[in-house]
Chain A
Amino acid sequence: MNAILEYINTSGLHDIIRASTWIWPTMETLHFVGLCLLFGVITIVDLRLVGLFKSIAYEWVHGLINLAVVGFIINVITGVLFYIGDPFRYTPNESFRFKMICMVLAGINLLIFTFKVKHEARHVGSGSSTSILAKCVGAASILLWTGVIIGGRLIPFYGPY
């Protein structure tokens, strides 16, 4: 494990990320913009699954998932670059680990959504209710992505950091 971290820590990409004063704050800003796209947008879809905004047919907001995916891609790229830039800091950090666990669980939740909820939800029209499973998946999504933000934001405060 240490050999892998040492390899990352001495890589050319690591040196580039750490070379300029501006790269890190710029990546952080992009990570925040990605956070907004991912979290704010997926929350609209999740709230409809949970049962809010029943006047909106589910299908009308389903396409927004694409925009959330754009936010996710921005954050995977910037997130991986953070990790390459400081692997020995993130790896043992408990807030970071909590964030990663929440993200894996959110991924599993997304699989349940894709295979068990999505097809049926797309027929839920204006004024209709979603299934119990859809409500649970929507609520779990909001909670898990909130957990991702909590873990990420606490990295510099709880740790070790």
Chain B
Amino acid sequence: MGIFQSIYDSGLGQSMRESLWGYPIALTVHSIGMGLLVGVLTVVDLRILGLFRNRMPFRVIKPIISVAMFGFVINLISGCLLFVSDSVNYVHNAPFLIKIGGVVAGMIVLWLMVRTPEFKQIQTVQATAVGGVNLKTLAYASLVIWVTAITAGRLIGYTI
């Protein structure tokens, strides 16, 4: 896997390994991004499933997704920095691969969610509405996927 060796040997990869604070700072920022991404998406999923339906109008889930996307961008950047520090080992680590698969699946599920009729007509959807069968299924999948991604991500440190 020459490309991962090249990433490992790159200037950025070397800096991340040699710097005393590069890795811990990237890891800390990654935790903050995780909190924003998964915490906010959990609210979105639970509201679709019917929790808070009497207090939080359905359309509120649309603007707050931008906070989750902010967390995702933070983690894409910090995640790439963590990856280049040890790319050759990460690509052979099963929890890492499961985690990346989970993140990709989670983002695809989010993309499918915003394409449902409920989202496309969100301004006219009843305040107390819940998701239809398709949207609810996506919400359940989202919850399971993100918990899986966190669990696998946490296990990288134990197995690499």
Contacts and interface: CB of A to CB of B under 8 A. Distances in A.
Interface of A: 25, 28-29, 32-33, 35-41, 43-44, 47, 53, 55-56, 59-64, 67, 71, 146, 149-150, 152-154, 157-158
Which size class do B's interface residues fall under?
A: 20 to 34
Contacts of A38: 35, 39
Nearest to A146: B32
A29 B60 CA distance: 29
Contacts, number: 101
Given A35-B31, A64-B56, A43 B40 contact: yes
Interface string B36-74: 111111110010000010011100100110011001000
A85 to B, nearest CB: 16
B150 A32 contact: yes
A60 B55 CA distance: 5
A41 B40 contact: yes
A43 B67 contact: yes
25 contacts: A25-B155, A28-B154, A35-B31, A35-B39, A36-B35, A36-B146, A37-B39, A39-B36, A39-B39, A40-B38, A40-B67, A43-B35, A43-B39, A44-B40, A44-B64, A44-B67, A56-B60, A60-B57, A63-B52, A64-B52, A64-B56, A67-B42, A146-B32, A149-B32, A154-B24
